[in-house]
Chains A and B, each alone.
Chain A
Amino acid sequence: MIARMEIGGLLAARRWRRILAALFQILLVVGVFLFITLPLAWLVISSIASPADLLSIPPRWIPWPPDFSNYSHLLFGGEIEGTTLTTVTLRAFRFSLRNSMIVASGVTALCLLFGVLAGYAFARLQMPLGDRLLYLFLLVQMVPVIVLLIPMFLVMSRFGLLDRLEIVILLLTAFHLPFVIWILRSYFLSIPVDLEEAALVDGATRLQMLRHVILPLAVPGLFAAGVYTFMQTWNAFMIPLIFTSSETKRTVTVAIAMFIGRHYTEYGLISAAGVLASLPPALLAIFFQRYLLAGLTAGAVKG
């Protein structure tokens, strides 16, 4: 209050500064926005460019008229002679979005559930081996999956567990859990301990406290960890490839790889497929982002 009164006389100057600051902020945001979207714009342009536009020198930045045939092929199918685009390939792409959604959501849910428990334990409780156990966990995740595929395939095959999305979910969870634990532990560490202390003194159990005190405060961290897991899983390639086989179980990464042919790759189609494949997660993220922001502001006001 005192500070405000002191600069009261410079109100006009302050207003100017505020406007300038707002403009500067918008400029910075535009910078970030361009960083993200410029390469993506090229992807979108490639997906709607006609064959001639795709090959024009210098590039035609706005392909006109836009050619949506890549999208219609992907969504409505049909075989195109002289390309990899057999009916089988195109049909598989449509299933794949659903499968990836199931797998990514499942892994995210499991990783968050187990990750919250273990992450909290590592952040706050005394563990048998302490941090060394955490590094051991991490070592597991860091062994490149390529050398584990063959023994894992043997096990799954012996138990008759091939070609099931559930197995893909479990395997990916096991692979990504260590790092999710790390992420969540870090966010838990940044939450002040006194809140818990109060709850403990009040006689709450650990789990009750985790649920009612810690989790609400850790929402941004949970969100970040969730996004990380979802994205990693959405992008997983080798495990879905090796452990599923029927076309109704194929995930989107594998389906897109099918457009890379023996000799020819259809850039327009791959671009369109890339755009379509990133739409569902992007929409999810935008939806949650808005929700999260609203929730946080509400919480901050009340807090």
Chain B
Amino acid sequence: MYRRNPGGLSRRDFLKSAGAMAGGLAASSALPFASLAQSDMSGALQWNTNHNTLSVNDFKIVIENFNEEYPNIDINLINSGDASLYYTQINTAGVGGTLPDLFYVRSFDAAPFGARGWITPLNDLMERDGMDLSDFWPAQVAQNSYQGQLMTLPYDFSNVAIYYNKTMFDEVGVPYPTNDWTWDDCFEIAAAFKDGEPGDQTRWGVELWTWAWMMMGLLHAGGGATFSEDNRSCIVNNPENVATLKRIQEEIAAGNAVHRGMTPAGLDPFLTGNIAMEVQGSWSAFYMLDGIGDSFEWDIVKLPRGSTGLTSVSAAGGAWGIATNTEDLDVAWEFCKYITNTESTNILISNNLRSVPGRLSSVPRWEEVAGTDIWKGRYVQVFPEQMLNDAINWSYPVFMGEYDAAWNARIIGVFEGNDPEEALAQIEEEANAAAARYFEDE
């Protein structure tokens, strides 16, 4: 089975070590002239991102900071907010050999981009500069690697938990969920919030997203695997996964659960008070805070345990890759290191709790912000805690994109009543056809 993150490491131990690491980094940065001197390095870089306006503002701050140390390096930031458009641009540029010097790469893309030779392996550069991997999440290092080489430097690392509407719980008279709950408990609680009959409902108990990578964790909690251990084939069609999907299907049919396709497009039904609980990512906490405002009280709870007794959180993140076609690798590497150092990660992620930082040494700052009044004691710490204790330490296969497409094409049908076994068989067949294309030359 898949390796899990070290379960023996408690949150306190983790924070202690992360704090020590942060202290070490701070001390090293205080060395005379080590990082304060301006560098003579010069050049121009194209940096492409796939983020929202708030993040872009932070990117600009980091560029300004970088230019204080590297005044002769011009950074041209181009952001494509739309993910589909962004990946079309990246794929087209990749084929054309005109990729931006530095660009955003998700966990799912590290292996395929590496296989296509689009991003520069970083091991030699890291060794040259004495960087090690101990400050990154082990699971993310695994996801960002291809054939033993780290392909990208981490930006953030995300996982999912359940956001719940405390006001709605109070109104219905249901006790708040606790971290030791199971999916059975979750669906049982969800039934209390059902308003109307299936097909004519305006309120549901819990909303499930259908993302392939997130569902991999849910399937794992039910005892089912998605890919073979060597990530060379898809094995999603197994009795455990069929049972998990049937269970979800039943809950949707009963009106207790809902999938995103059933709720209004463009609106978050959790924000509008149409659902009591929502499976949502660590990246959403900041937007929940802003979007919900004083409309209702809310909190976050761990993802429930599945039939195996495991919570099995699937994690994925964002990172920065250096294009192999870059004309100035040293400059790109210097900038890549800069935007992923602890200080920049604090600015980009931890200062606003935008997901979980990609660096462990940024977690203390993250914890500090999470403890401020603005968060009203909400349990946002669930995300780094899940990352430590419940995240599955897996990486994604090179054919993840094709698996994702096959999954997305079928899963709504399953949630709407199609036979899960048949759908999983088709998904498996399509994913394996893609896998065969990747491995046919070996």
Specify whether A and B are partners.
Answer: no
A residues with a Cβ closer than 8 A to B are: none
B residues with a Cβ closer than 8 A to A are: none
